[in-house]
Amino acid sequence: MTAGERSTAMRFPAYFAPGKAPVLSFEIYPPKTEKAMRDLDDALPRLVALKPTFITVTYGALGSTRERTLDVVERIRREYAVETASHITCVGASRGDVDRILERLRAASIENVVALRGDPPRGESAFVPVEGGFAHANELVEHIRGRGGFGIAVAGYPEKHVEAPDFETDLRNLKRKVEAGADCVITQLFFDNAHYFRFVERARELGIRVPIVPGILPAQSLGQVRRMTSLCGATIPPRLERALETAAPDEKAMEDVGVRWATEQCLELIERGAPGLHFFVLNRAGQMERILPAIRPSLEARLGPGA
């Protein structure tokens, strides 16, 4: 298929059908500046060459960021003929706003969304829905499912969501999202696979049957890993922290640590049946160009959904 031609869109359940190789997805964010947009334009052909099943684009709280999300989602699909999914959050969004976004996605033949509550705006400690909006992601999922026509992914937290009182309560809330109509779960980043395996096991015991796709962040630097884990509540294994400390401040050496760590994580996840891998690529291609060749044979050797 040449760039510019439209592929036939599929919804999430079809990607995870039995007999298919594990799903490979990349998550990017909409650039905020012209320079960042040029960087993404450089990275995109390289990321697309790695043959992801689909690319998802995150969604910010502000109106301008939302427009950029939709623009980027549409553009990637149009120019690269790669399936894309738009993230969509409840922040500042009424039901009417969500419907308008869904209409725009539908018009662009985008068939999948990642439905999230979103974080409270900077400076605010608690999430407050707009009048007539959604308090939790399960309400958003229910609304989108009611409208029909989209595959829906939701977020899951192997180390518990930061606001949840405990792991089990958070899992019960994940179940609400699945019961509301989510087709699959994409997890928050984690650096120790044991958290993912425990999460999947408990989810299955609770009756959550949909695919649970691990979210992988190739570490770039010690500062980045500390910043991101402090925001999302994930932990840094001491061995990874020591390796990054030893490599710092050499950027290339820290990236090498990130590549090796992510590759090891992925190989074990594939071997133990993860239904796919979702990479937080942060709009960069370099590390992915090293990780993918190392895991591709294992990915292709394993057919059919697992976890």
Residue numbers annotated as active site: 27
**Contact status: 195 vs ligand FAD (CB under 6 A):** no
> Cβ of residue 180: shortest distance to ligand FAD, in angstroms?
9
Adjacent-strand bridge partners of 215: 189, 278
- Strands of the chain (E only): list them: 23-28, 54-57, 83-89, 112-116, 151-156, 184-189, 212-216, 276-280
**Contact status: 50 vs ligand FAD (CB under 6 A):** no
Q: How many Cα neighbours within 13 Å face the side chain of 24?
A: 23
> Cβ of residue 280: shortest distance to ligand FAD, in angstroms?
8
Are 123 and 160 in contact by the 8 Å Cβ rule? The answer is no
Which range in 35-43, 104-112, 117-125, 288-296 contacts ligand FAD by CB under 6 A?
117-125
Which range in 2-10, 38-46, 156-164, 254-262 contacts ligand FAD by CB under 6 A?
156-164
248 to 287: interface string for ligand FAD, x by CB under 6 A: ----------------------------------------
Alpha-carbon gap, residue 174 to 141, rounded angstroms: 11
- 33-51 CB burial, b ≥16 within 10 A, e <16: eeeeeeebeebbeebbebe
Closest to ligand FAD by CB, 163 or 256: 163
From the list 22, 30, 52, 118, which residue makes contact with ligand FAD (rule: CB under 6 A)? 118
**Contact status: 65 vs ligand FAD (CB under 6 A):** no
Closest to ligand FAD by CB, 77 or 177: 177
> Cβ of residue 225: shortest distance to ligand FAD, in angstroms?
16
Of 217, 165, 207, which Cα lies nearest the Cα of 186? 217
Alpha-carbon gap, residue 118 to 245, rounded angstroms: 32
Site of interaction with ligand FAD (CB under 6 A): 58-59, 87, 89, 114, 116-119, 136-138, 155, 161, 163-164, 170, 173, 176-177, 186, 188, 215
